[in-house]
Structure 1
Amino acid sequence: MEMEGGEGRVVLITGASSGIGAATARLLARQGMRVVLTARRQDRLEALAQEIEREGGAALAIPADLGDPSAREALVDQVEARWGPVEVLINNAGFGYYATVEDTPWEVVRRMFEVNILAMIHLTQRVVPGMRRLGRGHIVNIASVAGYISTPPLTVYSATKFAVVGFSEGLRRELEPHGIHVTVISPGPVRTEFGRAASGLEVDPGEVPGGLAPEAIARAIARALRRPVPEIVIPARYIPAIWINRVLPRLVDWGTARQGRAWLRHLEEARRSGSRSAA
C-alpha cells in the first residue's frame, strides 16, 4: 500500500549524530517530516539540527544515553510534550566490538545488548500507545546482514542483530491489525564510524571496498515509509548468501571461519601498528 507524503510526521531517529541516522534525518526532513534527533553526542546533534533548520526543515535535538532506561523514558516524554505522539520510530542506534566471544569484556557484552536490543524494545513499548491512538505508525529497525550470517569477530554483535530481525518479525504480526507497519532494514557493510568505534582505532582496519554510503540506507528507509514492506536487504546481492547460509551452513562455516581468523590477524597488526605510531 502506498502511503501519502510525510508532511509533518513526527519521526524519532536514534543514533542520529552520524552515519545512517544523520543521513536519514537529512533526507526525511527534506521530505517535510519533523525529525527528532537523539544520540549521546550533543554537539553533533545540535549542529545537524541547525543544518536541517537552515534548509527549511524542522528538527529537535535531544541528547540521550540509550543504555539508560530512565533516559529512554524521558526522551519519549520530551518528544510527546513538544510535538505530540511519535508517528515513525527509527531504531538505528547500535555498536559492535571486534573480538572473539572469549576476549570481549563482559561489560561490553552487557552494554551492547542494552543499546542494540533493549533500547529498541523499550522505545517501541513507549511509542506504540501513541501510534495506536492515532491509528497509524511505522517502526523501522536497523539490523544487518550480520543478523542472518554470523561472522567472527563480530559474533556478539551478530547475536544482537539476529534478535533485531526476530523481534521485528513478531512485532510486525502484532501491530499490523492496528495500522502500524514494521520494517527491518538489513544492510551489508556501510561506510560509517562503526569500524573505528568497534576496533578502537583511528582508521577502520576492516573497511570493505565498495561499502554502501549511509545515504543509500536512508533512501531505503524513505522508500519503506512511502511503501511499507516487511524487510529490505541492501544490497540485494546478499540475499543469495543468506539463503545459502540457511540450507548449506557448513559450507558457509568454512568461509566465515577462515575470513574471521584472517580478519583478527589483520586487526591485531593494525592495533600494533597504531601503538607503535603513538609511541
Structure 2
Amino acid sequence: TQTCSVSEKRAMNPFLELLLFLATLIYSYLEAFVKLFVPVKRKSVSGELVLITGAGHGVGRATAFEFAKRHSRLVLWDINKHGVEDTAAECERLGATVQAFVVDCSKREEIYSAAEKVKKEIGDISILVNNAGVITAADLLSTQDHQVERMFEVNILAHIWTTRAFLPAMMNNNHGHVVTVASAAGHLVTSYMVAYCSSKFAAVGFHKALTEELSTLGKDGVKTTCLCPVFINTGFVKNPSTRLGKILEVEEVVEALMEGILTNQKMVFVPSHLSIVIMIHFLQLSILSRELDHSTG
C-alpha cells in the first residue's frame, strides 16, 4: 500500500505542476488585460542620482538618455573614454547634469576607487544600473582563459562590487533601486556560449538573492529590477541569431527596462512572452525529472 501511495504521489506531481503553470499563465494574461485599462502608477526619478555602468554604448547609452529626459542627475561609467563622453554630451544637451568617468569594470580596485570619488565629490547614488557586460561567442574549449575570466569579472563580479559600494547609503535611507542587466541566457542556455550563459545565470541569481535579502532586512524602500532580453543588436556579436525570436533593437529593450524601473518590476523579460517560454521549459524539465525518478525508483 505504501509503494502504491508513493507511485500515486509521483503521478500526481506533474499534474499539479501543470495546474500551477496554467494558473500562473492565466494570472499573467489577466494582469496584462487589467493593465490595458488601469494605468500603472509610475514613480518619479527627477532629481535622483543615477549611476550607469557601460554607458558609452548600446543599452547603457540609451538608458542614460531616458533618465536625462526624466530630469535625473547622471554619473556615467565606461571603459571607452570617447563613448562615455559622447553619451554625456548628449545627456547634457537633453538638460541633465552629468559626470563621466573612465572605469574598467573588470577591475575591483578601479570600481571601488571611482565609487569613493563619486560619493565624496557628487553624492550618494540612489539608482544603480549595473549594465556593463562583455561576451565571447565560442565553444567552451575554444574560449580562452582570459576571456572566461573577463566575462565573470564584468558580467557578475562588477555587479557585486558596485552594489557593495553604493548599497549602504540606499539601505540607510531605505530608498534606492538596484538594476541588474542580465539576459535570457541567464534562464535558458545556448551552444557556443557556455561561459557567457554561466555568468548571466550568476547575474540572475545575484538579483534574486539580493531581492530576498533586502526583504528579510526590511528594506522595502530599496527596489530591485532584473532585465532579461534575448540577443540585442548592439554590434558585439556578428550575425546574432536566436531560436527564441527576432533580434531586438536597443530602443525596445530600453523602453521595457525603463517601464520596469518606473513601476518597480522585479523581473523584465524582452520580449514579454519569454516568461511563458521559460515557465514551459522548467515545467518540461520538472516532468522529465519526475519520469526519470519514477523509472529508476
The residue correspondences of 1:109-128 to structure 2 (distance < 5 A) are 109-128=148-167
C-alpha separation between the residues in 1 aligned to 2:96 and 2:116? 22
Instruction: Give 1:12 shift.
Output: 0.7
Any idea what SS the aligned residue of 2:141 has? Answer: coil
C-alpha separation between the residues in 2 aligned to 1:75 and 1:218? 25
Any idea what SS the aligned residue of 2:223 has? Answer: strand
**Contact in 1 for aligned 2:130/2:180 (Cα 8 Å):** yes
C-alpha separation between the residues in 1 aligned to 2:136 and 2:261? 31
Amino acid at match of 1:149: L
The residue correspondences of 1:120-269 to structure 2 (distance < 5 A) are 120-176=159-215, 177-178=218-219, 179-195=221-237, 204-206=238-240, 210-249=246-285
Q: For residue 118 of structure 2, what is the aligned residue in structure 1? A: 79
- List gaps (5 residues or longer) in structure 2: 1-39, 288-297
Looking at both structures, which has the greater relative contact order when contacts are Cα pairs under 8 Å and sequence separation is at least 6?
1
C-alpha separation between the residues in 1 aligned to 2:98 and 2:137? 34
C-alpha separation between the residues in 2 aligned to 1:26 and 1:18? 11
Amino acid at match of 1:25: A
**Contact in 2 for aligned 1:191/1:207 (Cα 8 Å):** no
C-alpha separation between the residues in 1 aligned to 2:279 and 2:165? 34
C-alpha separation between the residues in 1 aligned to 2:253 and 2:196? 19
Instruction: Give 1:73 shift.
Output: 0.4
Instruction: Give 1:3 shift.
Output: 5.3
Amino acid at match of 1:37: L
Q: Which stretch of the first structure deviates more once superposed, 13-22 or 75-84?
A: 75-84
* TM value normalised by structure 2: 0.78
C-alpha separation between the residues in 1 aligned to 2:146 and 2:165? 26
Instruction: Give 1:221 shift.
Output: 2.4
**When the two structures are aligned, how many residues end up with a matched partner?**
244
**Contact in 1 for aligned 2:240/2:247 (Cα 8 Å):** no
Q: For residue 12 of structure 1, what is the aligned residue in structure 2? A: 51
**Contact in 2 for aligned 1:140/1:221 (Cα 8 Å):** no
Q: For residue 55 of structure 1, what is the aligned residue in structure 2? A: 94
Amino acid at match of 2:131: N
C-alpha separation between the residues in 2 aligned to 1:72 and 1:64? 7
The residue correspondences of 1:87-102 to structure 2 (distance < 5 A) are 87-102=126-141
**Contact in 1 for aligned 2:184/2:230 (Cα 8 Å):** yes
Any idea what SS the aligned residue of 1:50 has? Answer: helix
**Contact in 2 for aligned 1:17/1:48 (Cα 8 Å):** yes
Instruction: Give 1:222 shift.
Output: 1.8
**Contact in 1 for aligned 2:52/2:76 (Cα 8 Å):** yes
Amino acid at match of 2:260: A
Instruction: Give 1:104 shift.
Output: 0.8
C-alpha separation between the residues in 2 aligned to 1:139 and 1:79? 17
Instruction: Give 1:244 shift.
Output: 2.7
C-alpha separation between the residues in 2 aligned to 1:103 and 1:250? 32
C-alpha separation between the residues in 1 aligned to 2:67 and 2:256? 11
Any idea what SS the aligned residue of 1:48 has? Answer: helix
Kindly provide the CA deviation profile for residues 86-129 of structure 1, in whole angstroms up to 9, marking residues without a partner as x: 10011111111111111111111111111111110111111111
Amino acid at match of 2:258: A
Amino acid at match of 1:206: P
**Contact in 2 for aligned 1:2/1:228 (Cα 8 Å):** no
CA RMSD of aligned residues (A): 2.0
Paired-residue identity, %:
31
C-alpha separation between the residues in 2 aligned to 1:87 and 1:102? 41
**Contact in 1 for aligned 2:179/2:226 (Cα 8 Å):** yes
Q: For residue 263 of structure 1, what is the aligned residue in structure 2? A: none
Moved over 6 A (4+): none
Amino acid at match of 2:130: N
TM-aligned CA distance change 1:217 to 1:245, over 3 Å: same
